[in-house]
Structure 1
Amino acid sequence: MDTRRAGIPGILSIAAASVAVGLALAGCSDAVSAVDRAEAQVEAAEEALAEAQSAFTTASAEFCDSSSDYIAALDRYGDVLTDTAPTVGDVRAAGTDLARPREDAFDGAEAAVDAQQDVVAAEQELAEAQAALAEAQASAAASGSPSATTAAPEAAPAPLPTAAPLAPAATVDRVKQADAEFEAAQAGITDQTPLADATEQFTSAVVALEFAWLRLYADAGCLTDEQRVQAEAAVSAYTFALQQDLATAGYYAGTVDGVSGPLTVQAIEDLQAANGLPVTGTVDKATAAALQAELVALGGAAAQESLASTAAVQQTLKLVGFWDGPVDGVWTDALTEALQAFQVELGVEPTGAVDAATIAAFEQAISDLQDAAAAPEPTAEPTETPTAPAG
């Protein structure tokens, strides 16, 4: 027998085994490469998410800064309107000064929303990369790859992130509405406009826009001072209750949103006209009593809620230390005096009525409190310890 021929099957067997081993190693190499690639994709997605989050933080800070500047510009504009003798030129010049802060604020809001969407997209890409890595690790484990010893068990796919709004839709809508109302009021100022005839309606549009932006400023996470939030909420609570009462009595047809605007002023004027009161567009003791009487006459739930707006005034004054009486919704002479004292403190005319100028001044006082709270405390100057004379 030819021993060389007899050795051929053995050689073939060795070759076949070698091919099988090679194929197996190639399979392992493919599996390891798949895991490596998936891990690299996860790492890249994590870096992209970190960059998106950093960009969102920056955009949010810039939005807060530009919004703060716009709110301050609106407040200065309100000061012009409440001057004793503003001219058309004063109003137009102040309006021009509003243009750039307004543009910056809206641009900042858009940039912050876009940056937030980028974060959501980066979170989704990371979730998909993590799912692909889990699949690659599971495949490597099933093939007996050495990488199976470090492969994590396959996890259920995480739900993909969804975009949460930067601020509630109602807040954004109120800003848009207040902005439109303000532009309409501003467009009504011409060379022939007697400013004194439009002060309350026009000022209310400015205050409404300022408060709408304050609400957006708070809802977007720009506020950090709890006292300011509480105080601003107290003002909003008063206006909300007043709007609800006026709506129940049939005078207010706008949105009950806690922001005083031209529709709120018009409803107050209609109530005053219907009750033979001076038409001022502001709520004083007589106006509050007339509204309460109408609600009581309606009976039922209206009667039970008729004290809400006055109670909100009492609560606001109590918050700032000008009212120590009961929060019972009853407008008394003592409440009028407390409101007048608060108005004197704010530097506005002490009418004893809740008007746009008082609300605007209150907001400014709250802002000053916030600035004071944020300012660093002064550092005491070091003093030298006197040295006792020798001897």
Structure 2
Amino acid sequence: MDRTRVPAYLVAAAGAACAVALTVGLTGCTEGMSSVDRAKAQVTAKEKAVAAAEAELTEASAEFCGASKSYIAALDRYGDVLAETAPTVGDVREAGADLTEPRDDAFDGAESAVEAQQELVVAQQELADARAALAVAEAGPTGSPAVPSTAPPTAAPLAPTASVDRVKQADAEFADAQAAVTEETPLAEASEQFNSAVVALEMAWLNLFADAGCLTDDQQVQAEAAVGAYTLALQQDLAATGYYAGTVDGVSGPMTVQAIEDLQKANGLPVTGTVDKATAAALQAELLALGGAAAQDSLASTAAVQQTLKLLGFWDGPVDGKWTDELTEAVQAFQVELGVDPTGAVDAATIAAFERAVAEHQAADAASLEPEPSTEPPSAEG
């Protein structure tokens, strides 16, 4: 028996140990390796580190999207505090306290995603350095290394700075509104302050949610279409009441926000630039007060909701353009069926659900009209 032969499994184990040693900077296993082999091993190790960092970023981003979605749902749930049958100041303050945990989870998720992104940048830089070192080793002491001409990796923001800043601002404004509510605060004032602040915060988080890539491509397209349709109708109503003088194009910009703020100022509401329940009610009241075409447009919008719900089997009342408690209940029933938050209000998510449901209904109707193939044998003529 040859006692000098080393079993193959020991050779393999030693090679694995050396690979580990390279990743942590040890040199005991590399004395017999050439500089090129050592450089190649370093590149392999750094490539694995980059792959691991990419996986960690993907996981952290998914956790952030999940946490922010839960927080947005909580904000939406409490954004309708004005609609409660008998809200109290205590209800408003308790609602704010209930948002603390999902808010912390969302912010923690954002921080973790940013940290994971920074770690990926470090790993990518170390890989670039390892590849440059490999090029030098392969060139030898007298050669000219072909160093890869790649720009140093940079940390692109996970979301636009403006979206992040708007969330921070809305979060601070919400905290101020919550702190201002005391036992002595009139109920109507407490509800309005809380509602306007939480709606503004929800809209800011919705923008961040989309900008951070938390929507799939299909969801992004549907969301943009629904929001565009809603914004177009809003601009039309604001123009009819004299608050908006810009182009009615379905794109929300500074002039749209200013028109909403002017409407809120004129009606003694908190000035947020976003449409909450009280703002929508004020706008509808002004449209109805104008009468004529403006009033008809407002009634037509409600009638369209009634007609759509009737088509889908959720409304059996009249199509008369009058919004009643029964219509709110029908909207809520539809929202539950379609997996949309049952707010009873026709928001962007509900509009998108309307469009999908109507399209499916029309497709089903078209299929039912197609003639079925005959199973009877053809009769003989003559």
State whether residues 79 and 199 of structure 2, in contact with CA within 8 Å, keep that contact through their aligned partners in structure 1. Answer: yes
Paired letter, 2:97 = T
Mapped to 2, the partners of 1:138 and 1:344 lie a distance apart of 76
Paired letter, 1:117 = Q
The answer on 1:281 being equivalent to 2:282 is no
Displacement after TM superposition at 1:193 (Å): 2.0
State whether residues 201 and 265 of structure 1, in contact with CA within 8 Å, keep that contact through their aligned partners in structure 2. Answer: no
State whether residues 167 and 220 of structure 1, in contact with CA within 8 Å, keep that contact through their aligned partners in structure 2. Answer: yes
Q: Which runs of 5+ in 2 are unaligned?
A: 1-30, 247-251, 269-277, 310-318, 334-341, 358-382
Which residue does 2:136 correspond to in 1?
135
Of residues 265, 268, 283, the one that matches 1:270 is 265
Q: Greater CA deviation, 185-194 or 281-290?
A: 281-290
The answer on 1:219 being equivalent to 2:211 is yes
Distance 1:203 1:257, change over 3 A: farther
Displacement after TM superposition at 1:242 (Å): 4.5
State whether residues 31 and 136 of structure 1, in contact with CA within 8 Å, keep that contact through their aligned partners in structure 2. Answer: no
With the length of structure 1 as denominator, give the TM-score of the two structures.
0.57
Q: Greater CA deviation, 192-201 or 167-176?
A: 192-201
Cα-to-partner distance string for 1:195-253 (whole Å, 9 max, x where unaligned): 2245445322212211211221122121226256534664367559749975769xxxx
State whether residues 230 and 347 of structure 2, in contact with CA within 8 Å, keep that contact through their aligned partners in structure 1. Answer: no
Cα-to-partner distance string for 1:36-72 (whole Å, 9 max, x where unaligned): 2211221121111111111111111111111111112
Which residue does 1:86 correspond to in 2?
87
The answer on 1:202 being equivalent to 2:186 is no
State whether residues 204 and 265 of structure 1, in contact with CA within 8 Å, keep that contact through their aligned partners in structure 2. Answer: no
Paired letter, 1:270 = K
With the length of structure 2 as denominator, give the TM-score of the two structures.
0.59
State whether residues 113 and 166 of structure 1, in contact with CA within 8 Å, keep that contact through their aligned partners in structure 2. Answer: yes
State whether residues 46 and 130 of structure 2, in contact with CA within 8 Å, keep that contact through their aligned partners in structure 1. Answer: yes
Distance 1:345 1:364, change over 3 A: farther
Stretches of 4+ aligned residues off by more than 6 angstroms: 257-260, 338-342, 357-360, 366-369
Of residues 169, 180, 195, the one that matches 2:172 is 180
State whether residues 235 and 359 of structure 1, in contact with CA within 8 Å, keep that contact through their aligned partners in structure 2. Answer: no
Cα-to-partner distance string for 1:156-189 (whole Å, 9 max, x where unaligned): 4211121111011111111112212222222222
Distance 1:272 1:84, change over 3 A: same
Mapped to 1, the partners of 2:34 and 2:49 lie a distance apart of 22
Displacement after TM superposition at 1:284 (Å): 2.3
Q: Where does 1:25-104 land on structure 2 (aligned, <5 Å)?
A: 33-104=34-105
Q: Which runs of 5+ in 1 are unaligned?
A: 1-29, 144-152, 250-254, 274-279, 291-306, 323-334, 349-356, 373-391
State whether residues 131 and 157 of structure 1, in contact with CA within 8 Å, keep that contact through their aligned partners in structure 2. Answer: no
Distance 1:269 1:208, change over 3 A: closer
Query: SS of the residue aligned with 1:176?
Result: helix
Which residue does 1:112 correspond to in 2?
113
**Max Rg structure:** 1
Query: SS of the residue aligned with 1:162?
Result: coil
Distance 1:54 1:62, change over 3 A: same
Distance 1:38 1:82, change over 3 A: same
The answer on 1:362 being equivalent to 2:347 is yes
State whether residues 42 and 126 of structure 1, in contact with CA within 8 Å, keep that contact through their aligned partners in structure 2. Answer: yes
State whether residues 35 and 140 of structure 1, in contact with CA within 8 Å, keep that contact through their aligned partners in structure 2. Answer: no
State whether residues 52 and 115 of structure 1, in contact with CA within 8 Å, keep that contact through their aligned partners in structure 2. Answer: yes
State whether residues 67 and 106 of structure 2, in contact with CA within 8 Å, keep that contact through their aligned partners in structure 1. Answer: yes
Distance 1:73 1:155, change over 3 A: same
Number of aligned residue pairs: 280
Which residue does 1:193 correspond to in 2?
185
State whether residues 38 and 133 of structure 1, in contact with CA within 8 Å, keep that contact through their aligned partners in structure 2. Answer: yes
Paired letter, 1:48 = A
Q: Where does 1:184-333 land on structure 2 (aligned, <5 Å)?
A: 184-224=176-216, 226-227=218-219, 229-231=221-223, 234-235=226-227, 238-239=230-231, 242=235, 246=243, 256=253, 266-271=261-266, 281-282=279-280, 283-284=283-284, 286-287=286-287
Paired letter, 1:185 = A
Which residue does 1:165 correspond to in 2?
157
Mapped to 2, the partners of 1:364 and 1:188 lie a distance apart of 31
Query: SS of the residue aligned with 2:87?
Result: coil
Displacement after TM superposition at 1:83 (Å): 0.6
Displacement after TM superposition at 1:288 (Å): 9.7
Paired letter, 2:200 = A
Paired letter, 1:179 = D
Which residue does 2:331 correspond to in 1?
346
Mapped to 1, the partners of 2:352 and 2:113 lie a distance apart of 24
Q: Greater CA deviation, 81-90 or 264-273?
A: 264-273
Displacement after TM superposition at 1:364 (Å): 6.0
Displacement after TM superposition at 1:96 (Å): 1.4
* % identity of equivalent residues: 52
Cα-to-partner distance string for 1:343-373 (whole Å, 9 max, x where unaligned): 664349xxxxxxxx9796625647989xx9x
Displacement after TM superposition at 1:101 (Å): 0.7
Paired letter, 1:161 = P
Q: Greater CA deviation, 153-162 or 203-212?
A: 153-162
Of residues 337, 345, 353, the one that matches 2:321 is 337
